[in-house]
Amino acid sequence: MKTKTILITLLMAALLLIAVGCSKADSSDGEDLTGAVVNDVVLEVKDAADNVADAVGDAMGEAADTVKDALDDDAAPDAEGTDELVADENKPTLHRVKMSEAGFDPVELTVEVGDSIEWVNSRKAKAMVLGIKACSYLKSPVFSNGDSFQYEFTKADTCTLVDGIYTKVLPMKLTIVE
């Protein structure tokens, strides 16, 4: 709000400069007062510009402080005491696999125990994820375009997954590691 007021003041000062420049004021003794009025207006405009610069600087400082605070919340000090964003190594990851007419994308994936995979159907036809052999425990319901199926892996394994609807696409190779 403070910045808006200052900008309006600047605009009014500029309009006054234009008005003074368009008319010439004379004193009773014939002396030209236009120069004095222009100087006063220029000083007012400079003051207003300084106020705008201060307000913008304050706003930028507050924004920078807010960003720094947000980063500090997610940061951990490193060995030298500086703040550096550190990924939580114990947090499971959600991987996304796209199912299209061409098959799985990616066709090979390695995840860690505790991670989840979300298969997203991006084709018009329905989709179904099936684990074969050692991973026969993995079986999704049939899901439509735009829908997805998610599964969390709880043990290390090597799996071959097939598409239960589009049987002619390449199978997906999945490796789950400790």
pLDDT digits (tens, 9 = 90+) for 92-114: 999 999 999 999 999 999 999 99
pTM (2 d.p.): 0.51
Is residue 64 over pLDDT 60? no
Say if residue 22 is in the same domain as residue 72.
yes
Say if residue 113 is in the same domain as residue 139.
yes
Closest CA to 153 of 119, 116, 98: 116
Domain end position, chosen among 47, 67, 85: 85
Measured CA to CA, the distance from residue 57 to residue 93 in angstroms comes to 40
Say if residue 109 is in the same domain as residue 163.
yes
Number of structural domains found in the chain? 2
Distances (CA, A) of 107 to 3, 57, 84, 121, 161: 55, 51, 34, 14, 9
pLDDT (0 to 100) of residue 82: 33
**Averaged pLDDT for residues 76-100:** 65
Say if residue 114 is in the same domain as residue 80.
no
Say if residue 7 is in the same domain as residue 80.
yes
Say if residue 29 is in the same domain as residue 101.
no
Say if residue 13 is in the same domain as residue 55.
yes
Say if residue 64 is in the same domain as residue 102.
no
Higher pLDDT, 112 or 2: 112
Is residue 176 over pLDDT 90? yes
Average pLDDT, the chain: 74
Say if residue 107 is in the same domain as residue 150.
yes
Lowest mean pLDDT of 65-69, 93-97, 131-135, 172-176, name the range: 65-69
Domain that holds residue 100: 94-177
Instruction: Work out the widest C-alpha separation in the chain, in whole angstroms.
Output: 108
Higher pLDDT, 176 or 83: 176
Is residue 145 over pLDDT 90? yes
Beta bridge partners of 163: 129
pLDDT digits (tens, 9 = 90+) for 20-43: 554 544 445 555 555 555 566 556
Say if residue 12 is in the same domain as residue 64.
yes
The pLDDT > 70 percentage for the chain reads 50
Say if residue 9 is in the same domain as residue 70.
yes
Structure tokens at 163: 């598409």
Measured CA to CA, the distance from residue 173 to residue 178 in angstroms comes to 17
Domain end position, chosen among 68, 85, 102: 85
Distances (CA, A) of 91 to 2, 74, 86, 158, 161: 44, 14, 12, 22, 25
End-to-end CA distance of the chain: 56
Domain end position, chosen among 43, 68, 85: 85
Closest CA to 2 of 58, 66, 43, 62: 58
